[in-house]
Amino acid sequence: MTGWTLGIETTAHTLSFGLVDADGKPYPAASDTLRPDEGGIHPREAADHHKDVAAELYAKVLEMHGINQNQLTGVAYSQGPGLGPCLRVGASIARGIATRLDVPLIGVNHCVAHIEIGRQQCGCRDPVLLYVSGGNTQVIARLNGRYRVLGETLDIGIGNMLDKFARLQGIPFPGGPKIEELASAYLERCPNPTMEGLELPYAVRGMDLAFSGLLTAAQRLVENGTELDAVCWSLQEHAFASCVEVAERAMAHTGKSELLLGGGVACNERMRTMSNMMANDREGTSHAPPKMYCIDNGTMIALLGFLELQNR
């Protein structure tokens, strides 16, 4: 392939256009995220948002990297998993651009895109992926030539759980970063914390996870007068430890020694530290890509499209 590959991400509330060059080198994406004033994300409102800002963002990503759309030689888009109305918008924008430029169009798997950008950025070979985002919580590994989901949430994604807990305290979306700040503030205030009075249910269910009980119990602590920063600390400890435990089991079961983090919650420093501790204990390694490639981004879609088009 001689030119650039465009990637379009629209699985949920983020619309993002990203690029990789003819060698598969990634370039930062142009993104816009719908942030509802109240409540959660409404799929049709998110889809309308994506439609409204698409032309502007497409022009922006080309301008950011000084390229002309005639230099595009492939267009990739997130085919799923995601919200139907949002996915349809992404697919039709991608089809429109690819048809107009007469270049190949390719739909790719969003979760695999998180893995591939992480593998490329971190230089890991055959990792177990701990994919922790708003909508998804999955442990994925490649076995017998296919990516397999070895464990996943049975109810809500870990990020949605954090966002919802935050929303109940009046903290706007995205709540995860603010919970991280509050948890750090608690550690400064109370450097040797214990779980006394802060216990929460544990989210592990065999190889799967479930976060709604944790959310309810954390909210109950707040309602019973426990300080919010202490609850945030405990919530992070419980939620992250359970994800890391499932990832560790997956590493033990598959015999793999690399752990790769992906998804918006992988921006969290405590999540990164816990993953490192677990991997070090097993004499393995833990990796996380730059934060702009942890959150949903068009660049990872471009990269996976580039790889798939190359291997067609």
Task: For the CB of residue 269, give the shortest distance to ligand ATP in the complex, in Å.
Answer: 7
Which does residue 14 bind out of Fe ion, ligand ATP, none, counting CB within 5 to 8 angstroms by kind?
Answer: ligand ATP
Q: Which of 3, 24, 177, 284 binds ligand ATP (CB under 6 A)?
A: 177
Which does residue 18 bind out of ligand ATP, Fe ion, none, counting CB within 5 to 8 angstroms by kind?
Answer: none
Closest listed residue to residue 65, CA positions, set 14, 114, 22: 22
Q: Dihedrals φ, ψ of 238, to 5°?
A: -70, -45
Q: Dihedrals φ, ψ of 137, to 5°?
A: -140, 105
Q: Which of 32, 180, 245, 248 binds ligand ATP (CB under 6 A)?
A: 180
**Beta-bridge partner residues of 161:** none
Asked if residues 232 and 179 have their Cβ atoms less than 8 Å apart, the reply is yes
Mask: binding to Fe ion, 93-132, rule CB under 5 A, as x and -?
Answer: ----------------------------------------
CA dist 158 and 180 (Å) reads 13
Residue with tokens 């109940």, as numbered in its chain:
168
CA dist 273 and 134 (Å) reads 20
Mask: binding to ligand ATP, 247-266, rule CB under 6 A, as x and -?
Answer: ----------------xxx-
Q: Which of 163, 245, 296, 308 binds Fe ion (CB under 5 A)?
A: 296
Task: For the CB of residue 184, give the shortest distance to ligand ATP in the complex, in Å.
Answer: 10
Q: Is there binding between residue 296 and ligand ATP (CB under 6 A)?
A: yes
**Three-state secondary structure string covering 20-66:** ECCCCCEEEEEEEECCCCCCCCCHHHHHHHHHHHHHHHHHHHHHHCC
Q: Which of 18, 174, 289, 305 binds ligand ATP (CB under 6 A)?
A: 174
Q: Which of 10, 120, 136, 138 binds ligand ATP (CB under 6 A)?
A: 136
Burial class for 69, CB neighbours closer than 10 Å (0-12, 13-18, 19+): middle
Sort strands 14-20 and 4-9 into parallel, antiparallel or unpaired: antiparallel
Asked if residues 93 and 22 have their Cβ atoms less than 8 Å apart, the reply is no
List binders of ligand ATP among 33-92 (CB under 6 A): 82
Burial class for 202, CB neighbours closer than 10 Å (0-12, 13-18, 19+): middle
Q: Which of 268, 275, 276, 286 binds ligand ATP (CB under 6 A)?
A: 268
- What type of residue is 160? N
Q: Which of 90, 159, 289, 298 binds ligand ATP (CB under 6 A)?
A: 159
Q: Is there binding between residue 182 and ligand ATP (CB under 6 A)?
A: no
Task: For the CB of residue 95, give the shortest distance to Fe ion in the complex, in Å.
Answer: 22
Q: Is there binding between residue 14 and ligand ATP (CB under 6 A)?
A: yes
Which does residue 174 bind out of ligand ATP, Fe ion, none, counting CB within 5 to 8 angstroms by kind?
Answer: ligand ATP
Contacts with Fe ion by CB under 5 A lie at: 133, 296
Contacts with ligand ATP by CB under 6 A lie at: 11-14, 82, 133-136, 157, 159, 162-163, 174-177, 180, 263-265, 267-268, 295-296
